[in-house]
Amino acid sequence: MTTQVQTPLLSEQFVRNARLGSGLLIFLFVVLHLTNHSLGLISLSAAEEGRQWFVILWRNPLGTLVFYGAVVVHVLLVLRSLYLRRSLVMPISEALQIIVGLSIPVILIDHVVGTRIVHELYRYSDTYHTIIRLLWISSPLNGARQALAVVAAWFHGCIGVHYWLRYRPWYGRAAPWLLTLAILLPVLALLGFAQMGRTLEAEIEEGGNPSGYYGESQNYGGSRSYYGSREADAEIARIRVILYGSFAFAVLSVVALRTRRKLKERANLIAVRYPGGEIVRVPRGFTVLEASRLGGLPHYSVCGGKGQCSTCRVQVIEGAASLPAPGPIERHTLHRIAAGPDVRLACQLRPVADLSVAPLLVPAPEGDIPANSVTANPGREHEIVVLFCDLRSFTMLTETRLPFDIVFLLNRYFAVVGQAVEQAGGRVDKFIGDGAMALFGLNGTAADGCRQALAAAARIIEEIDRLDKELSEELTLPLRIAIGIHTGPAVVGTLGYGRARNLTAIGDTVNVASRLESVAKEYDAELVISEPVAALSGVDVSGIDSHDIAIRGRSGPLKIYVVPKEKSGVFA
Tens of pLDDT, residues 271-302: 999 988 889 988 888 899 989 988 888 887 76
Cα dihedral across residues 251, 252, 255, 256: positive or negative: negative
Same fold, 269-359 and 375-571: no
What is the DSSP-derived secondary structure letter of residue 270?
A: E
Q: What is the pLDDT of residue 237?
A: 86
Q: What is the pLDDT of residue 228?
A: 52
Own/partner contacts of 148-155, CB < 8 Å, gap of 24 or more, are 148/107, 149/104, 149/107, 149/108, 149/111, 150/34, 150/37, 150/186, 150/189, 150/190, 151/186, 152/100, 152/103, 152/104, 152/107, 153/30, 153/104, 153/108, 154/30, 154/34, 154/182, 154/185, 154/186, 155/100
23-75 pLDDT tens trace: 999 999 999 999 999 999 999 899 999 999 999 999 899 999 999 999 999 99
Q: What is the pLDDT of residue 220?
A: 35
Q: Which CATH number fits domain 269-359: 3.90.1720.10, 3.40.50.450, 2.30.40.10, 3.10.20.30?
A: 3.10.20.30
In the three-class reduction of DSSP (H, G, I as helix; E, B as strand; rest coil), residue 222 is classed as: coil
Measure CA 270 to chain center. 34
Confidence of residue 408 (pLDDT cuts 50, 70, 90): confident
Domain definitions of the chain by residue range: 12-261, 269-359, 375-571
Measure CA 200 to chain center. 43
425-477 pLDDT tens trace: 999 988 888 889 999 988 888 899 999 999 999 999 999 988 888 877 777 77
- Fold annotation for 375-571: Alpha-Beta Plaits (3.30.70)
Do 414 and 438 meet the contact criterion of CB atoms below 8 Å apart?
Answer: no
Q: What is the pLDDT of residue 420?
A: 94
Q: What is the pLDDT of residue 43?
A: 92
Q: Measuring CA to CA, which residue among 453, 483, 447, 468 is closest to residue 572?
A: 453
Q: What is the pLDDT of residue 380?
A: 65
Measure CA 367 to chain center. 28
Q: What is the pLDDT of residue 496?
A: 65
d(C-alpha 273, C-alpha 207), whole Å: 77
d(C-alpha 462, C-alpha 465), whole Å: 5
d(C-alpha 323, C-alpha 300), whole Å: 21
Measure CA 413 to chain center. 39
The answer to whether residue 316 scores a pLDDT higher than 80 is yes
d(C-alpha 294, C-alpha 273), whole Å: 13
Bridge partners, 436 (sequence order): 389, 431
Mean per-residue pLDDT of the chain:
82
Mean pLDDT of 226-248: 81
